[in-house]
Amino acid sequence: MRSSTFLYALPLAALAVSAAQVNPRSHKSRFHRRSSPPLPQGNTPGPVLLRSFAQSQGLAYVQGDNTAVMTVDNYSDLSEGENRNSVRIQSKTTISTGLVIADIFDMPHGCSVWPSLWQVGPNWPAGGEIDIIEGVNNLQLNQMTVHSSEGCTLDKNPPATTVNNTTGKVEAFTSNIIATGCATTATSNAGCAFQDPSTQSYGTGFNDIAGGVFASLVQDSGIQIWRFPRYAIPSDITSQNPDPTTWGAPSAYWSSSSCDISSHFYNMNVVFDITLCGDWAGSAYSQTCGGSKGGASSCAAQVTQASNYKYASWKINYVAIYQ
C-alpha cells in the first residue's frame, strides 16, 4: 500500500449524512434500505430525514477536537411504538479493491442498540457487503460478516502466509469462524462470519481502551479485516503510509480460493449506522437484555427512554480510504 492514494479523512463535511427513524425494522428491509432513499414504507424503517435535520437535532456533529460524533437521539422520551431518531452516514466515494481504515474512539452499545460499520456495493447483494464492525445489545465480541450473491463461500483452511512471530505458527486469521455460506438466499441472510475472541473488540471493552483501528483490505486474492487496540496501532497506519504486509495475521480472512472477489464485491460505499431493535437486536433482546440483564421488559419498551441511549454514539477520529 505504499504507493496508494490518500482519498479523504473525516471531518463529517466529506460525507453524506442522513438520519432515519429506525425502530422497528426487519433485517431484510435494512438491506433494501441500503440502496438509497426514498425508502419503501410498510414493515420498513421510518422516513429518511434530511442531513440538515440530523445536524440541527445534534445527531451528527464535529467536536472542537475534530472528533466526528454520530448518535441516537438521547434526549427525547417517547411512547411505545414511536420511532427514535438515529443516523446513517455513507461515503460519497465508492471503492472496489482497496483499503479502508477507521480510527474509532467509541462505538455505540447497550440494550436495543445495533451499530455497524460496513461496505456495501450496488444492487444488493450483487455488489456485495462486508460488515467490519457489528454487534447488538450487551454483546462483547465483534462479528465480521460477508454477504454476497450466489457462488461465494468462506474457505476454512485458506493458504496461510503469515508467521506469528510469537508462536512461530503460520496463521491465516485469528478469529473464530461462525458460518461459511456467504450467499444470501430467499431463506437465509446470515452470511459467512467470524467472531473476534477478544472482549476489546466490541462495546464497553472496546470503548474502555479508547477504541482503536479497524482496517478492511479488499484485493483480488481475498478480503481481510484487522483490528488494532489503541495501544498497539502500527506506526505505518498513524503516519498514513499503511503496509498491511507488516501487520501479521488478520482477524478475519475470506480467501479467493472459494470466492471470486472481483465479481462479488465492487463499487462499495463505506457506511456507519445505528439501528435500534430490528431482526438481530430485537430477536436477541430477551437473551441478552431482558429480565435481570439490565434492560426494559422488551426491546420496544427499551426504546421509549432517552436515558437508555447515553452510550449509543460513534466517536470517530478519522476514516481513510487507500486505493
Ligand X SMILES: *[C@@H]1O[C@H](CO)[C@@H](O)[C@H](O)[C@H]1NC(C)=O
- Residue positions annotated with a catalytic role: 129, 134
| Contact residues for 114 (Cβ-Cβ < 8 A; gap 6+) | 134, 135, 136, 137, 274, 275, 276, 277, 278, 280, 281
Q: How far is the CB of 306 from ligand X (least distance, A)?
A: 7
Q: How far is the CB of 206 from ligand X (least distance, A)?
A: 15
**For residue 284, what is its C-alpha cell?**
436477541
CA contacts within 13 A on the Cβ side of 148: 24
Q: How far is the CB of 31 from ligand X (least distance, A)?
A: 27
Q: What angle do CA 126, 131, 134 make, to 5 degrees?
A: 145
By beta-carbon proximity to ligand X, the closer residue of 90 and 308 is: 308
| Contact residues for 244 (Cβ-Cβ < 8 A; gap 6+) | 1, 99, 215, 217, 224, 226
- Helix, strand, coil percentages, rounded to 5, for the chain: 20, 35, 45
Binding residues for ligand X, rule: CB under 6 A, are 69, 71, 74-75, 164-167, 174, 246, 248-249, 310, 313
Backbone φ and ψ for 55, nearest 5 degrees, come out as -70, -40
Length of the chain in terms of residues written? 323
Rounded Cα–Cα distance for residues 28 and 85 (Å):
20
Instruction: Tell me the residue nearest to ligand X as measured from the CB.
Output: 248
Q: How far is the CB of 190 from ligand X (least distance, A)?
A: 27
By beta-carbon proximity to ligand X, the closer residue of 165 and 235 is: 165
Radius of gyration of the chain measured on its C-alpha atoms: 19
**Measured between alpha carbons, how far is residue 59 from residues 11, 84, 87, 117 in Å?**
15, 11, 7, 17
Q: How far is the CB of 310 from ligand X (least distance, A)?
A: 4
